[in-house]
Structure 1
Amino acid sequence: MRKEEKSEVIKSLADQLGTYTHFYLTDISGMNAEQTAALRKSCFEKEVKLIVVKNTLLGKALEQTGKAQDELVAVLEGSTSIMFSNTGNAPAKLIKAFRKDKGAEKPMLKAAYVDECVYVGEGSLEQLVNIKSREELIGDVIALLQSPAKNVISALQGSAGGKIAGLVKTLENRAQ
């Protein structure tokens, strides 16, 4: 690969590292063509972009974007592929489901960069699966905000509601 080609690849990787808010470094070496095709299809369906990269080029792209933390650079050995995603836990869920469905050991998690935090090693996979996405957090907040209102409405509609309505009416009559 010529120097110009390498600089184009580094620039492209740096652009993608800037575009996507989360990325996972994985090892998919040793997977056969059928497994690799199935993984790529799963990635496409879950809106996860999968790219196989050279470690040195990825290291230089990480330096350009300011994401070259020691933990990430340390795992750049052997075969490396990147899973880009705008949802923090999507690649982790994909990896876990893919392994379960295919009975495979790969893809192996080397490291992940999620919400400006670095997770290193296979032991982090379960923790990454349990991270809630932005949409899930918003749903939780909305559910918490709706809960008190639902309780009041159900109390008014239930058998106690007649008593409460009667008390309100009595208080209204006394005020006049």
Structure 2
Amino acid sequence: MDRAQKQEAIETLKGDFAAAGAVVVTHYMGLTVAEMTDLRGRLREQGAQLKVVKNTLAQKALDGAIGEAADSLFKGPVAIAFAPDPVSAAKVATQYAKDNDKFSVVGGFMGQQVLDQKGVSALASLPSLDQLRAKLIGLIQAPATKVAGVLQAPAGQLARVFNAYATKDAA
């Protein structure tokens, strides 16, 4: 890899780090190509990506912005999982690490904060952005539905009374 390619890779990583809600740093030693493809597919379904990175290029892309703690994450065979949503990449990576003992979560970072394994697990336990949106919409719609039901109840009762009188007179 020549100097221009390295500079391009660093710029790409800087863009990935800036656009990501959270970056999960993982070790993938011993995974087969099929397992890596499966992991990439699972991440893609959630809108996340997985990239195998060179440690020195990732450290240069971070440029000491987060500190030495983040630089220490990049040791050994490292792949990063990231997505615009801070939770989705952490969820998939943590679940895959539970299912496959060759894959492990080392840590990660979110903005300027470095996360250890427990921090990434805590992040993975949070509801996703779509789940939060669904809960919020449900909370907003619930009072309107109840008001509509309350307003319709007297009209429905009145209609039943009229129907009862009509059937009584017809009989």
TM range (shorter): 0.7 to 0.9
Q: In the superposition, relative to structure 1, how do residues 129 and 34 fare at CA in structure 2: closer, same or farther (>3 Å)?
A: same
- Whether 2:77 is the aligned partner of 1:108: answer no
Partner of 2:76: 78
Deviation at 1:115, TM superposition (A): 5.8
Amino acid at match of 1:139: A
SS in 2 for 1:31: coil
Matches within 5 A, 1:11-160: 11-63=11-63, 66=65, 68-99=66-97, 103-114=99-110, 117-121=113-117, 123-158=118-153
Deviation at 1:80, TM superposition (A): 1.0
Contact 1:156 1:162 in 2 (8 A): no
Amino acid at match of 2:38: A
Partner of 1:170: none
Q: In the superposition, relative to structure 1, how do residues 9 and 88 fare at CA in structure 2: closer, same or farther (>3 Å)?
A: same
Q: In the superposition, relative to structure 1, how do residues 49 and 144 fare at CA in structure 2: closer, same or farther (>3 Å)?
A: same
- Whether 2:3 is the aligned partner of 1:7: answer no
Q: In the superposition, relative to structure 1, how do residues 69 and 140 fare at CA in structure 2: closer, same or farther (>3 Å)?
A: farther
Deviation at 1:59, TM superposition (A): 0.7
Answer with 83-92 or 146-155: which moved more: 146-155
Contact 2:24 2:120 in 1 (8 A): no
Any unmatched runs of 5+ in structure 1? 164-176
Q: In the superposition, relative to structure 1, how do residues 155 and 94 fare at CA in structure 2: closer, same or farther (>3 Å)?
A: same
1:157 and 1:109 map into 2 onto residues whose CA distance is 54
Deviation at 1:78, TM superposition (A): 1.3
1:53 and 1:15 map into 2 onto residues whose CA distance is 14
1:115 and 1:9 map into 2 onto residues whose CA distance is 20
Deviation track 1:67-118 (CA, whole Å, cap 9, x = no partner) reads x334322222111111121122111222244346xx4124311222336543
SS in 2 for 1:131: coil
How high is the sequence identity, in percent, across the aligned residues? Answer: 25
Amino acid at match of 2:106: K
Size of the aligned set, in residue pairs, is 158
Q: In the superposition, relative to structure 1, how do residues 31 and 127 fare at CA in structure 2: closer, same or farther (>3 Å)?
A: same
Any unmatched runs of 5+ in structure 2? 159-171
